[in-house]
Amino acid sequence: MGRPALLAAGAVLVLSGCSGMGPTSPSEAALACPKVNIVRDLQEVTVFRPGGKDLTDLESRAALTDFTGSCDYTSSGVTVNVNVYLVAERGPALQGSTAKYQYFVALAQPDDTLVSKAYFDTDVTFVPGQPRAGTREELTPKIPLPKDANAKDWKIYLGFQLTPEQLTFNRTQVKK
């Protein structure tokens, strides 16, 4: 699958995932889940072998494609149960069958003040003969709020932790 196809699949799934965190009944509307966002510039990562810059040097690329979840209010705050889906594509320069990625989960107050940022490492193992693979990551960020406080305006940001070169690469690609 080429980059445009991988991107198109990810864009469709990200848009469909945005509605997966809302209240499920009118009684839950008062205490809604926080907004979960996959950061556009950090949604994908392209990994080249050291010193490489072209397609023959590509080890792998991956995209955070979707999320689903719910939230639970308790007397000590809100626990957000998020499943994040990652799809990876094997490149010709990958040695072995496993690609490694690092992503983050950041928690922000309603005014966008960052409260916390946690990093997670994940591996994607490619089955022989299959150019694509994926994983589901289960996350449970917690928002410390007083009893009956609403988390609906809080935000959870997801993205790959990129090097400056990877971020520049993402920003210079033509989005289709």
Structure confidence by residue, pLDDT tens digits, 2-28: 433 333 333 333 322 333 454 444 444
pLDDT at residue 25 in the model: 44
Q: Residue 53: pLDDT above 90?
A: no
Q: For the whole prediction, is pTM greater than 0.85?
A: no
pLDDT in tens, 102-142: 999 999 999 999 999 999 999 999 999 999 999 999 999 99
Long-range contacts of 163-172 (CB under 8 A, 24+ apart): 166/45, 166/46, 166/47, 167/41, 167/42, 169/46, 170/41, 170/42, 170/44, 170/45, 170/46, 171/41
pLDDT at residue 14 in the model: 32
The larger pLDDT score, comparing residue 75 to residue 44, is at: 44
Which band of pLDDT confidence, cut at 50, 70 and 90, is reported for residue 149?
confident
* 3-state secondary structure at position 112: coil
Cβ atoms of residues 167 and 43 within 8 Å:
no
pLDDT at residue 93 in the model: 96
pLDDT at residue 175 in the model: 57
